[in-house]
Amino acid sequence: MNDAKRLNKYISESGFCSRREADKLIAANRVTINSKVPELGTKVLPGDIVKVDGNQIGTTANDKSDRVYIAYNKPIGITCTTERHVKGNIIDAIKHKERIFPIGRLDKPSEGLIFLTSDGDIVNKILRAENAHEKEYVVTVDKPISQTFINRMSNGIPLEELGKTTKKCKVKKLDSHTFNIILTQGLNRQIRRMCTYLGYEVQTLKRVRIMNIKLDVPVGKYREFTKDEIKTLNTLLEDSTKTFQAKQSRNRRKN
């Protein structure tokens, strides 16, 4: 039984989708194991045949050498969804030959760096706020930036509509209307909501870095990660958990 894998992990490692999306497919009865519809949490054994919508899912190489990792400079107007019926979806915009999906999202009016991959197993490791991976942005607002604005943005903003207060972050004024901000959270429209709370309106928002990878391709273009970038990324992700429960369990074992 040591070779058994949870079904959502098996699907995500195949490059078909993320674990979260795999759970949705399983719940919708779109997945079968050996022609039978499984439950959430079912384990896949060596030799089992897993299919999604009748199409067989293959296993991945142990070293993930067959996985795709790309950095894309998303233009304004592109929507970060894999739903092909959505006009301006990111999959049609990129036209990659492999089946890939975005890690996280950038709002339609925002631009800049976003990762896409066929490795569903790393998605939550990068995205979960508990793992505190940095994402850096350059933002222009509609009126002059004060030191009070910088201080308040840095120390946390209450977002009542989300029921949360943003974590402390690094904010630096670049010019009268532009600032740099480094977040370890990924709340919905976080920077825009923070600015609105302080009476500012975002004019432009560009993500320029995720973890160790910087934006270095023209708008609308992408490139594959280098071997060194993948190595560094994996090192940064070594201590990351895929779920908050997993981190709690690990901390209990340490104490």
**In this predicted model, what pLDDT tens digit does every residue of 152-193 receive, in sequence order?**
999 999 999 889 999 999 999 999 999 999 998 888 899 999
Q: Which of 53, 107, 175, 216 is catalytic?
A: 107
- Give the range among 3-7, 104-108, 112-116 with minimum mean pLDDT: 3-7
Q: What is the C-alpha separation between 200 and 44, in angstroms, rounded?
A: 51
Q: Is 233 exposed, middle or buried (0-12, 13-18, 19+ CB in 10 A)?
A: buried
Residue 247 has pLDDT above 60, yes or no: no
Higher pLDDT, 63 or 239: 239
Compute the average pLDDT of residues 123-128: 73
Q: Is 48 a catalytic residue?
A: no
Alpha-carbon Rg of the chain, whole angstroms?
20
| Amino acid 166: pLDDT | 94
Compute the average pLDDT of residues 72-95: 94
| Amino acid 238: pLDDT | 77
**Best-predicted range by mean pLDDT among 16-30, 140-154, 223-237?**
140-154
